Amino acid sequence: MERFHKTSRKYETEVEVSGHLIDSMILTRIFDRIMDLKGEFEVIEFRIGKSNKDHSYAKLAVKGRTAEHLDKLLKEVYSSGAVPTKLSPVKYRPAPKDSVLPENFSSTTNHPTQIYLNDHWINIEKPMMDKAVVVYPKENRAVCKAILEVRKDELVVVGEEGLRITPPERPREGVDVFQFMSNQSSIERPTLTIARKIARDMHSVHSSGGKIVVVPGPAVIHTGSGMVLAKLIRKGYFTALLSGNALAVHDVELSLFGTSLGLVLADGTASAKGYRNHIAAINEIFKWGSLRKMVRGGALKKGVMYECIVGNVPYVLAGSIRDDGPIPDVLTDMVEAQQQYKERLADVDIVLMLSTMLHSIAVGNMLSSDVKTIAVDINPSVVTKLLDRGTRQAIGIVSDIATFLPTLARELEKLEGLANRP
C-alpha cells in the first residue's frame, strides 16, 4: 500500500496527532518542521482540550513536491509524535551481515517509541537516539540496538510505517525545575534557586530508591570541588559514576600530593616540580596495579574514587587518545566502555553532568528523553552543544562548578535535616 498519492501536482499523506499539543508546543514543532523543509500542510480537523488535563487532537494533510520530498517531511512529522491516519504494521527486513543494516532502516530518536506489531502497539526497549530497532515477532518484542550490536539475519525495522514516537510533554502537576529551565542555558539564572530545585528532585529520587548517575570531569578536582563530590558519594546519592582517565588521575594526585595539575589546592600556589605530580600519581597506581588495590593496601585513603570503592558505587572510566597512562582501571576498548556506560544508565532517573563536554555528550546520546538530565559547565557552548546534539530534555546551568556543587550539597543537607526531624 502506498503511503502517498498524487493530487493537483502534490504528493500528500494524512496524519494525526493527539496529546497536549498547544502548551507542549507539539503542533508548533510539526508546523515549523514542515515549513522549514519547504512543505505544505492543511489542517483537516482540530479539537482542542477543554481543560489542562484534556488531550487535543489534530488531523493534517502533509504535502510535498515529490515522493522523496514527502518522505523527508513525514520523517520529521513522525518524530514529533504524529502517526498516519491509516495504520499499517511495522515493516522489517533481515540484516545482510553482522553490523550492517538493511536499506531504508529506521533511525531512532531518544523519545519513547512504539511499533505496531501483531495488531498491538508495543514499546521499544532501551530507547536511545541514532540506533536501529530489532524486532522479535514471535516474542512481541522490539529492542533498540547500536549498529555494532546487530547480527546477521536479525529483523531490523525499515521505513516509517507502524512507528509511534511520544515526545515529552509539559507535566500537568505544575512547573518544576525541568519546566522552569525550558531546555535552555543562561548565565543569568540564579544558581541558588536552581540548585535548591535540583536538590529537591535528587532528594526525592534518592529517598524513594531511584537511580542517580553522576558524570564528572577533571574540573571538579581542579576547582577543589572533589571533596564535595566525595561527600555526596559517601552519603549514597549516586548509583554510578561515569567519567574518564583524567578525573581519576587528578583525584589520586590530590589525595597523594595535595595538588591538581601541580597547583596546591589549599592555597593556590604552584608546587615545586608539581608538573610531574600527575605522572607520579599514575606511576603509583601502576605500582599497586589498580585503584582498588591501592585502597585495599591503604595507599589511597580519600577522594572521589576512594569513596566509590569503599562504598561499592560502580564506576566506569572510558579512555581517550589524549590520556596519560592510561591507568589500569580505564577501559581503552571504546565498544566495551560504551556498553558498560549503557548498563549503568539503565532505568536511571536523574543524570548529573559536571564540567565535561566529552562525557556529557556521550552520555546524553545514550539517554531516553524522559530521563531528567542536568548539565553544569562554566562554558555556555558545552551546554548548548549537548542540547543541539539531541539531548533536548537537558537543562543547562552555566556556572562555576566550585560554586554550584557546594551549593547543591548544602541544599541537600537542609533537606536531610528536615527529613530527620521527629
313 shares its domain with 400: yes
Task: Choose the final residue of a domain: 114, 148, 172.
Answer: 172
Within 103-165, where are the H helices?
A: none
Q: Are residues 158 and 120 in the same domain?
A: yes
Q: Which of 142, 157, 172 is the last residue in one of the domains?
A: 172
Same domain, 193 and 341: yes
Choosing from 54, 86, 118, the residue where a domain stops is: 86
- Are 154 and 195 in the same domain? no
CB atoms within 10 A of CB 88: 15
User: Residue 96: is the preceding peptide bond cis (ω within 30°)?
Assistant: no
Are 37 and 185 in a shared domain? no
343: in domain: yes
CB within 8 A of 48, min separation 6: which ones?
A: 22, 56
pLDDT for 393: 66
Determine the pLDDT at residue 169.
Answer: 67
Residues 81 and 92 both lie in one domain: no
Going by DSSP bridges, is the β-strand pair 91-94/155-158 parallel, antiparallel, or unpaired? antiparallel
The ranges of the chain with pLDDT < 50 are 1-4, 6-9, 172, 174-188
Tell me the sheet residues that pair with 242: 316
Residue by residue, what is the 3-state secondary structure of 363-414? Answer: HHCCCCCCCEEEEEECCHHHHHHHHHCCCCCEEEEECCHHHHHHHHHHHHHH
H/E segment holding residue 133: strand 132-136
Q: Are residues 108 and 228 in the same domain?
A: no
Whether residue 227 contacts residue 300, with contact meaning beta carbons closer than 8 Å, is answered with no
Amino acid at residue number 279: I
pLDDT at position 301: 95
Based on the domain organization, do 134 and 201 belong to the same domain? no
Residue 16 lies in a domain: yes
387-392 contacts at long range (C-beta below 8 A, 24 or more positions apart): 387/183, 387/184, 387/185, 389/361, 389/364, 389/365, 390/109, 390/110, 390/129, 390/130, 390/364, 390/365, 391/110, 391/361, 391/364, 391/365, 391/367, 392/183
Residues 349 and 239 in one domain: yes
Cβ 88 vs Cβ 165: under 8 Å: no
In a domain, 98, yes or no: yes
pLDDT at 178: 45
Say how many CA atoms lie within 13 Å of 106 toward its Cβ.
34
Decide: 18 and 55 in contact? Cβ < 8 Å. Answer: yes
Percent of the chain exceeding pLDDT 90 equals 42
DSSP element (H, E) containing 192: helix 191-207
C-alpha span between 132 and 192 (Å, rounded) = 41
> What is the Cα–Cα distance from 48 to 57, expressed in whole angstroms?
6
* pLDDT value at residue 299: 95
Q: Are residues 137 and 64 in the same domain?
A: no
Element (H, E) at 245: helix 245-257
CATH code of the domain in which 15 resides: 3.30.70.2690
Is position 204 within any domain? yes
Tell how strand 315-318 and strand 330-331 pair up.
parallel
The domain containing residue 20 runs over which residues? 1-86
Predicted local confidence at residue 183, as pLDDT: 46
Query: Do 150 and 77 belong together in one domain?
Result: no
CATH number at residue 165: 2.40.420.10
pLDDT one-digit tens code per residue, 279-297: 899 999 999 999 999 999 9
Asked if residue 286 belongs to a domain, the reply is no
118 burial type by CB count under 10 A (0-12 exposed, 13-18 middle, 19+ buried):
exposed
Q: pLDDT by residue (tens digit) across 23-64?
A: 778 888 888 889 988 888 888 988 888 877 778 888 889 998
Question: Considering the domain boundaries, does residue 288 fall inside one?
Answer: no
Q: Is 9 part of any domain?
A: yes
| CATH assignment at residue 403 | 3.40.50.10690
Residue 399, in any domain of the structure:
yes
Q: Specify the pLDDT at position 8.
A: 46
DSSP-assigned letter for residue 290 = S
- pLDDT at residue number 272: 67
Clarify whether residues 219 and 106 are in a common domain. no
In DSSP terms, 114 is beta-bridged to: 123, 164
- This prediction has a pTM of 0.79
CB 358: neighbour CB atoms within 10 A? Answer: 16
What's residue 302's pLDDT?
Answer: 95
| Total domain count, the chain | 3
DSSP string, 313-330: --EEEE--TT-SS--TTE
